[in-house]
Structure 1
Amino acid sequence: MPEGDTVWLTARKLHVALAGRELTRSDLRVPRFATADLTGREVLDVTPRGKHLLTRIEGGLTLHSHLRMDGSWRVYAAGERWRGGPSHQIRAILGNTEHTAVGYRLPVLELLRTKDEEQVVGHLGPDLLGPDWDPVTAARNLLADPVRPLGEALLDQRNLAGIGNVYKSELAFLARVTPWLPVGDLAADVPERLVATAHRLLEANKEHFDRRTTPTAHGTTERRAEQRLFVYGRAGHPCLRCGTPIRRAGQDDRVTYWCPACQSGPTDQPRQDS
């Protein structure tokens, strides 16, 4: 599932291509909105909210989309060949005289009144890349359920919006605790440091799709591709900090990665509610 930085960059590309221009083509290929015609309306802006995309359109309308695991928006110049996938995977087309935005495999696509946006994003916690970012509230939200494993709490968008599976694993590594550690067992200063680190990393990566959480290698401007993340996707590879092989296991129906030497706390254990 795309993380908040990927969604932010997608929103920016859509905004640059569509905002301030009148739609000359509109095609929503979902049964509920198949007859909706947005042509002739101006796109006002495209705004990310956590992992949600809100395309606001003249007349008080918002096209709400969510990429989840496989969805994507691609922007093409007028006349450019579309290469995002077969035509049967297209769920939305928004075009003007200069660009066409094509939404592929979008699991969530709905047209609603702009005044009703809170119905689809109002449950979200502070947005790591949004104007509402509030680290104090985010840290407090993480601690709301003290027995909840850290990995689950970080992924809960009601606590803070924008963290996905990659950042979950990386943040736990940087905090030197396992993703299964109950949040109530974190040292007093760790929640605030965690949300500050999350904000810093997403801000640093939001301008490009080539995500990196590790510092650059000494004397170089780039790490090798396999060294751009500390643990995520690196099962069996040596830890960049201590050399111990990185491990992988399931957590809350997703996969997680950790270093058994660098990170303290329980490992690969189901939650035990009190």
Structure 2
Amino acid sequence: MLTRGELRHPRLSTLDLVGRSVRAVRPVGKHLLIRFDDDHTLHNHLRMDGAWHLYSPGARWRRPAHQVRAVLATAERVAVGFNLHDLAWLPTSAESRLVGHLGPDVLDPEWGAEHEAEAVRRLTADPGREIGRALLDQSVLAGVGNLYQTEVCFLLGRSPWTPVAEVDAVRAVRLCRELLLRNAWHPEQSTTTSLRRGTEHWVYGRRTCLRCGGPVSRGCLGSGLESRVAYHCHHCQP
């Protein structure tokens, strides 16, 4: 049961959450759904800079107070939401209004064969589309960001500009889930299984390929506001 529950948001500042209990927390891509025992949900979107931290009562927060958008506390723990975007309070039954357009979430705890098959179906719906752009499309597969699509393309042995038709779509989906699951419970993002500085990624953010030592090229994937920096190794990703 919450002993403190404040939301620092113009539309929700008068909502008092004290006395309510959180019954579930479900991520859907960068959306986070916090479900309460009164059949309501607190929705927030992390975007690029949002984060939730867990503290012991009385512990010093690691980010400045002006970034705080939510404080949810029990007698044992304090959850602080920093730089949260698009905060909304809605009936749990209406969650699909906000996340119903998204593809299967790779971190869904109920993930199974049906989720994988649906993700593969969405991924291959446009065979001529670049695999990098398809993996970044949240309506195809929710939760895959630029770092992970870059590293998945590397592990597939294909550049991000390769048409989907030339890629093993099942393996692509499985790699996305494998890499995100591997990093789900710690802040470091390693796609190589190594957490040693400078060896966490194969090509993302690197000048040389961790596998072959060859040069890593930087390019642009997509255009306009949706453009992303893409990395690839010419030797390992022909």
Name 2:204's counterpart in structure 1.
232
Q: Which ranges of structure 1 fall in alignment gaps of 5 or more residues?
A: 1-21, 216-221, 265-274
Name 1:219's counterpart in structure 2.
none
Name 1:172's counterpart in structure 2.
153
Deviations 1:65-113 (A, max 9, x none): 11110011111111111122x2221111111222221111112211111
Matches within 5 A, 1:103-118: 103-118=81-96
Name 2:233's counterpart in structure 1.
259
Amino acid aligned to 1:123: H
Matches within 5 A, 1:37-56: 37-56=16-35
Matches within 5 A, 1:5-154: 22-84=1-63, 86-130=64-108, 131-133=110-112, 134-154=115-135
How many angstroms apart in 2 are the aligned matches of 1:165 and 1:111?
29
Amino acid aligned to 2:199: Q
* Greater mean deviation of Cα atoms: 91-100 or 68-77: 91-100
How far does residue 48 in structure 1 lie from its aligned partner after superposition? Answer: 1.6
| Matched positions, count | 231
How many angstroms apart in 1 are the aligned matches of 2:82 and 2:15?
18
Between the aligned residues of both structures, percent identity stands at 48
Runs of 4+ in 1 over 6 A off after TM superposition: none
How far does residue 223 in structure 1 lie from its aligned partner after superposition? Answer: 6.1
Query: Any idea what SS the aligned residue of 2:121 has?
Result: helix
How many angstroms apart in 2 are the aligned matches of 1:198 and 1:34?
37
Bigger relative contact order (CA 8 A; separation at least 6): 1
What's the TM-score, normalizing by structure 1?
Answer: 0.79
Q: Which ranges of structure 2 fall in alignment gaps of 5 or more residues?
A: none
CA RMSD of aligned residues (A): 1.6
Amino acid aligned to 1:251: L
How far does residue 147 in structure 1 lie from its aligned partner after superposition? Answer: 2.3
1:212 maps onto 2:190 in alignment: yes
Query: Any idea what SS the aligned residue of 1:138 has?
Result: helix
Query: Any idea what SS the aligned residue of 1:32 has?
Result: coil
2:138 to 137, 149, 157: 157
User: 2:201 touches 2:210 (CA, 8 Å); kept in 1?
Assistant: no
How many angstroms apart in 1 are the aligned matches of 2:234 and 2:22?
50
Amino acid aligned to 2:79: A
How many angstroms apart in 1 are the aligned matches of 2:143 and 2:151?
14
Amino acid aligned to 1:193: R
How far does residue 146 in structure 1 lie from its aligned partner after superposition? Answer: 2.1
1:202 to 180, 202, 205: 180
What's the TM-score, normalizing by structure 2?
Answer: 0.91
